[in-house]
Structure 1
Amino acid sequence: MASTTLSNESGATPLATETAAPAPGGAAPRKAALASWIGSAVEYYDFFIYGTAAALVFGKIFFPAFDPAAGTIAAFATFGVGYVTRPIGALLLGHIGDRHGRKKVLTLTLLLMGLATFLVGCLPTYHQVGLWAPGLLVVLRMFQGLSAAGEQAGANSMTLEHAPADKRAFYTSFTLSGTQAGLILATLVFLPVSALPEEQLLAWGWRIPFFLSAVVVMIGFWVRRTLPETPAFEHQAAEGKAARRPLVELARHHKACVLRVILGALVAVVSTVFSVYTLSYAVNTMHLPRAAMLTLLVCANLVALCAIPLFAALSDRIGRKPVFIAGALGSGLLAWPYLWAIAHANMPLVFACGLLLSGVVYSAANGVWPALYGEMFNTRVRLSGMAVGTQLGFALAGFAPTICAALQGNDPGNWVPVAAFVTAAAGAAALTVATCRETCRTPMAELGKQV
């Protein structure tokens, strides 16, 4: 894929030209970052407790008619279904966000995710209602996917447009730090639940994390309800320049940037393989201690909470591209020793490689992409561009655990194809970002323009 081909379509139509909005200032950037952090933590607590449950229990209570390997693949497939509906949610919520404002999207996504997650905890099992159980599970997972599609793009757009010009990556990274916090919270909730006897875990224990989502959603809604709209969007709306058909404008004038975001988002394969597939592989296949693997997830994400803003701040100094590329390539390489360690039940090496992979190296790419992708678009289509691009790319990441389980098959030692798959996805993301325009010092009003 040649960079000249991509760059020819990166500009905007004259209709998309922006005049400079008032510069962000005061406490607004910090409040936007905090609201994004808390909202993302809430959203992804809900989203990731599903992944943990899919790895540990869903195969047994929703797909007991399958043999264990097939049941695991089926449970992972329901996890991936949430990523199938994400592009649909991106189209819908992207339009709302670019047409009517970022705040409306962030409120809608929070309430939709919370309701769907709570209802998962209310579902009957396969033994109680037969095929209705996995069918209803899939439907609710689809609604989770619709919500998640607008959450990160909305929060990233909100924070980016509130941030000071020289700290855009640092402030937008709080959205991803919130995502990590959500995963930590989800894992911490599952730690005592997973310690229950198997019979109690499968009977009622797995429902507790889903019921608790009602509490965390109320907290997130309370924080976000007072957040002001972004200066950039308000400025455009006041001048009558908000896009009436943002998706049409995006398709006509920003196809290359959307393609870049899709391929760059493939780096998320690292995250879903680490948090879902390797958890199942280690616990269910290699019989490593469940509590130890959940503890590793928590520790890796605690490290990431610190690493993500540091890498983002670094990209404000040296540029988005070198930080992202180093993180993506490093993650692809570290997948090999991490999977080898699991296959050989070497717990010290599992912890060392896991912390380095997910906590440190992946955080370089993960902390930078909110600014990197958002700066490819102007205010008129920013939320749509980020939402559509990331969610199409994340769709492969959502099915990565299913793909990995299929690649491994019934051979516990067949981890090499899985490592190769992760490396290929991360390498494709790095190669794509190498073709991008560097935007760390580009003024807000100049973002999204042809070079």
Structure 2
Amino acid sequence: MAVSQPGTTPSKRGIFAASFIGTSIEWYDYYIFGTAAALVFGSLFFPEFSATAGTLAAFSAFAVGFIARPLGAAVIGHFGDRIGRKSMLVLTLLLTGGTTFLIGVLPTYAAIGLAAPVLLTLLRVLQGFGVGGEWGGAVLIATEHASPRRRAVYGSFAQFGVPVGVLTSNLAFLSVSGMSDEAFLDYGWRIPFLFSIVLVVVGILVRSRLRDAPEFEKAKQHKDLAKVPIAELFRQQPRNLVLASLASIAPPAVGYTVIVYMLTYGTTVAGFDRTTLLTLILTSTALWIATIVVSAILSDRFGAKRVFTIGALTAVLWPLPLFALVNTGETMPALLAFVVAAIVQGIMAGAQGGLFSEIFPMRVRYSGISIGYQMGGMLGGALTPIVATALYGAYNSSTPIALYVAGMSLLSFLAVLGLRTGHDNDTGESSRPATAEAGRRAELAE
């Protein structure tokens, strides 16, 4: 029996749409929570605390989603390796989109008291659980249809979703930021959350047309799938799993410093108004997207590991200048700070999809790249806004924050140097995601 007919192999455009649109929606949902945590959740859901304690509580609710992400990565990754990538990608959209909409209709502390922050935290856990399985599936649905020479470019499709999610979430909040403070706190902040349900419908329509790659379908037909992928992953790939997790710290550490913590720091310390700060971050996102394209192309030419290593090194060097420029309180220096930070993230993002798809063999690939990516996201993304807020509260200076972000990025730089890819993985089994047949079909589809 044929695995699939060449005529039914998804086109490059279809793969791009499913990977990019889906992750854009997922990250839109995720980032509007972070934006709301920085701007309004402290006063609406934790009003009994001081301003600093309320912000810390809101960021803690934000961080809970990161804690749920590795669990989601393990569970959804298990079924992605056992059942298929497509079905899990539809599930992740439903989980994140549904919880985001519910947050938009959630009563605040003033209406239902302590139940409000409890429900907010529970919904955040569900949201994080869904996001945990999103990135790995979106990367694989692209790279497993790609020829070896285009793997990083295909892997970058999912990476566009991160800056586009930032872009659209900031646009959503920018569209309501002109409201009076009373109207914004009353109902304005809810509009971006409620709008997510429309995006979810679009994403499901696009992803319903997907099919898994021939490599996976063939393994499924021949019953050549891992019975317990996570057990096989921990037994055969522990070194690469740990290194992949550490390598994944730098992108969210830099990213969440800018798109989450800076919304608080920039308005309360550096003196920017809310609309100006959102506009500056929004503007820098265009460079983030462009850098992903360039980075992915260079990764296919010179190697994803080499390009990611360069990006991680820039992440070590930029935090101190980043805060120094923002601390001027001037628009153009702050824009420069955010633009360079966006380029730093883009270098790593453009290489990461291709790099991670080469680390693990097909039998445990969904679990491996999902857990590695989400563990790094938890360490780099969940902790950074909390630690940054606490460090500024303790030292009244941005320097300890910058050193913390640089130190986290240094871990990623050292880890990626030790990663093994391709035929050099721990089992000796090739981890390249495209078979020759899949590669030929992908090239024809292009």
- Equivalent of 1:89 in 49, 58, 72: 72
CA contact (8 A) 2:230 2:367 kept: yes
Q: Which residue of 1 aligns with 2:268?
A: 284
Q: Which residue of 1 aligns with 2:310?
A: 326
Are the structure 2 counterparts of residues 276 and 56 from structure 1 closer, same or farther at C-alpha, using a change threshold of 3 Å? same
Q: How does 1:88-107 map to 2 (within 5 A)?
A: 88-107=71-90
- Equivalent of 2:385 in 401, 414, 419: 401
Please provide the CA RMSD for this pair: 2.2
Q: How does 1:155-166 map to 2 (within 5 A)?
A: 155-166=138-149
Q: Which residue of 2 aligns with 1:66?
A: 49
Q: Which residue of 1 aligns with 2:111?
A: 128
**Count of residue pairs brought into register by the alignment:** 427
Structure 1 residue 322: Cα displacement: 2.0
CA contact (8 A) 1:23 1:231 kept: no
Q: Give ranges in structure 1 of 5+ residues lacking alignment.
A: 1-19
Partner Cα separation in structure 1 for residue 393 and residue 357 of structure 2: 39
- Per-residue CA deviation, residues 198-242 of structure 1 (Å, 9 max, x unaligned), is 111111100000000010101111100011111111011111101
Partner Cα separation in structure 1 for residue 345 and residue 4 of structure 2: 34
Q: Give ranges in structure 2 of 5+ residues lacking alignment.
A: 434-446
Structure 1 residue 56: Cα displacement: 0.7
- Equivalent of 1:167 in 128, 150, 157: 150
Q: Does 1:314 align with 2:298?
A: yes
Q: Which residue of 2 aligns with 1:353?
A: 337
Q: Which residue of 1 aligns with 2:19?
A: 36
Q: How does 1:2-401 map to 2 (within 5 A)?
A: 27-267=10-250, 268-358=252-342, 360-396=343-379, 397-401=381-385
Partner Cα separation in structure 2 for residue 98 and residue 22 of structure 1: 22
The sequence identity of aligned pairs, in percent, is 37
Amino acid at match of 1:235: K
CA contact (8 A) 1:24 1:162 kept: no
CA contact (8 A) 1:320 1:439 kept: no
CA contact (8 A) 1:28 1:162 kept: no
Structure 1 residue 42: Cα displacement: 0.7
Q: Which residue of 1 aligns with 2:437?
A: none
Partner Cα separation in structure 1 for residue 85 and residue 46 of structure 2: 39
Partner Cα separation in structure 2 for residue 75 and residue 42 of structure 1: 22
Amino acid at match of 1:357: A
Partner Cα separation in structure 1 for residue 195 and residue 57 of structure 2: 25
Are the structure 2 counterparts of residues 148 and 388 from structure 1 closer, same or farther at C-alpha, using a change threshold of 3 Å? same
- Per-residue CA deviation, residues 395-423 of structure 1 (Å, 9 max, x unaligned), is 112221011101111665x1011000110
CA contact (8 A) 1:81 1:398 kept: yes
Are the structure 2 counterparts of residues 394 and 84 from structure 1 closer, same or farther at C-alpha, using a change threshold of 3 Å? same
CA contact (8 A) 2:422 2:430 kept: no
- Per-residue CA deviation, residues 8-45 of structure 1 (Å, 9 max, x unaligned), is xxxxxxxxxxxx99999965343222210000011111
Partner Cα separation in structure 2 for residue 56 and residue 424 of structure 1: 27
Amino acid at match of 1:201: F
CA contact (8 A) 1:174 1:309 kept: no
Amino acid at match of 2:39: L
Partner Cα separation in structure 2 for residue 204 and residue 84 of structure 1: 29
Partner Cα separation in structure 1 for residue 259 and residue 5 of structure 2: 41
Structure 1 residue 329: Cα displacement: 1.5
Normalised by the size of structure 2, how large is the TM-score?
0.92
CA contact (8 A) 1:69 1:410 kept: no
Partner Cα separation in structure 2 for residue 24 and residue 171 of structure 1: 20
Structure 1 residue 430: Cα displacement: 0.9
- Per-residue CA deviation, residues 35-61 of structure 1 (Å, 9 max, x unaligned), is 100000111111111011111111111
Partner Cα separation in structure 1 for residue 422 and residue 261 of structure 2: 35
CA contact (8 A) 1:82 1:141 kept: yes
Partner Cα separation in structure 2 for residue 345 and residue 424 of structure 1: 25
Amino acid at match of 1:83: F
- Per-residue CA deviation, residues 52-110 of structure 1 (Å, 9 max, x unaligned), is 11111111111111111111111111111100111111111011000000001100000
- Per-residue CA deviation, residues 312-344 of structure 1 (Å, 9 max, x unaligned), is 110110111221111112122111111112223
- Per-residue CA deviation, residues 164-187 of structure 1 (Å, 9 max, x unaligned), is 210100111010112211111110
